[in-house]
Structure 1
Amino acid sequence: MTTIIRAGAAHDFLAIVPALTGYAPVRSLVCVAFHGNRSAGVLRFDLPRRARDRETLASVVVGTVCRMPGVDAIVPVVYTEAAFARRGAMPERALLELVVARAEAAGFLVRDALCVAADGWGSVLDPETPAQGHPLDLIASSPAASTAACRRPRRSRRPRDAARARSRSRRPGGPHARRVRRRGPARCVRPAQTAA
């Protein structure tokens, strides 16, 4: 069954992202890919620890989206523990601007480019974003967040750590190991669809 959730504003969209990913992202760059007005998949990457790795990450994100059939638009979202107040500006703005530039050069429509920080959220494409960011309460109190399909998942371990824990509980060489070898690594998660 396809679930359609409408996001009328950026904070509504941010309320939906945890439902799309299946977890609350932490220290991540999440890229929601769209085919028309419906989500086509979600990609998640660790934030780079060094500033010089931003260009590489932006290239990898856009290169991966280029391989997704039918995708014509994206919304990159950075989740960081940094704060607007500490920097006096949006954290990871340079990374988001790189992703936007690369995506537009590749022919994708960038619907928005968002940052969710420890003390607020903002949009790179919105000149009205205050220096201290918009309050996080806007996301939590969004009508989209109260939709049954968008019940906020618990903030838990990073996805990579959870995958390691699951793989340790399985015997090597069991049926799961054969299935993974045949399929190869997953490129994106395709959860419930949304209409923007």
Structure 2
Amino acid sequence: MHMFFRTLLHFWLSRFGRRLGHYDVARTNFITLPTDLDILKHMNNGVYLSIMDVARFDMLKRTGAWKILQDKGWYPVVVSETISFRKSLTLWQRFTIESRVLGFDDKAVFVEQRFVRPDAAGKPEVYAKGYIRGRFLRRTGGVVPVEELIEALGHVPDSVVVPDRLIEWGAGVALPATRAEAPSEWIDAVDR
């Protein structure tokens, strides 16, 4: 339940954060709490994904996208996500999540998020990096097409391009549509 309160706190704090353009890097500050730790005394891998959610909400609020979504009756959902770890975050360490919209494919938006702490020289150092592929749904039902989302957000700069490797990843990990069949079958599996 602590993530719920953390989300509310950052949702409130985002009101006071610097306003950003839709494709700017959003920096959201956190501290590793006791409830974030696993039995090895570093941040649990699942907590990274939850904190990425909080940082994306901060980004949506500070870019003004949240207001647009609310006015239109849309809300975001994660379709796919992946994360790679480099260094562990431990108790009471302060860190920043840098979030940025990378661009779109024909169905979804891609966001890169980095967990960053200063190194010995004070330069930002990446501890972990994750990517999400998300879609927007209508509260009345249905998916918001990417073209409609882009129209609502405004001009997409030419520099906003999703790397081919992420487009391939998104296609490679996609599951069937919600109304399509999705049987749980293991290739060459033996029931025991």
TM range (shorter): under 0.3
Work out which of the two has the higher radius of gyration on C-alpha atoms and give 1 or 2.
Answer: 2
TM-score (norm 1): 0.27
Going by fraction, where is strand more abundant, 1 or 2? 2
TM-score (norm 2): 0.27
| Higher RCO (C-alpha under 8 Å, 6+ residues apart) | 1
